[in-house]
Amino acid sequence: MNSTILNVFPSDSGDQRLVLASESDAEGSSTLVLRQESRSPHVGWFVQSRIAIEPNQVAALKMTLTSNLVKEALPADETPAVLSFRSAMAG
């Protein structure tokens, strides 16, 4: 499997990071993955967890990250409203 790093997002601690990579198999099929990596002085960087992003999820992820929804997220102390719906047949 070949892996191409597209971007590295360091953390404040310096010992953890997120890596966005494209991984391709022997058949040439590629997958976008988000990896959480940690660094050990004895081993170097290693993968803690890995999430494969399916092709149909990429556009939705991009839209979410670039939309105003992320910028205008509710403050942590504000509870979102919950709406309940009744069926018209419940009578």
Residue 49 lies in a domain: yes
**Cβ neighbourhood burial of 45 (10 Å; 0-12, 13-18, 19+):** middle
Q: What is the mean pLDDT of residues 49-62?
A: 90
Q: What is the C-alpha to C-alpha distance for residues 7 and 10, in angstroms, rounded to an integer?
A: 10
Number of domains in the chain: 1
Residue 85 lies in a domain: no
Express each pLDDT in 5-51 by its tens digit: 999 999 998 899 999 999 998 888 889 999 999 999 999 999 999 99
Residue 36 lies in a domain: yes
Residue 23 lies in a domain: yes
Residue 73 lies in a domain: no
Enumerate the H helices of the chain as residue ranges: 55-66, 68-71
Residue 80 lies in a domain: no
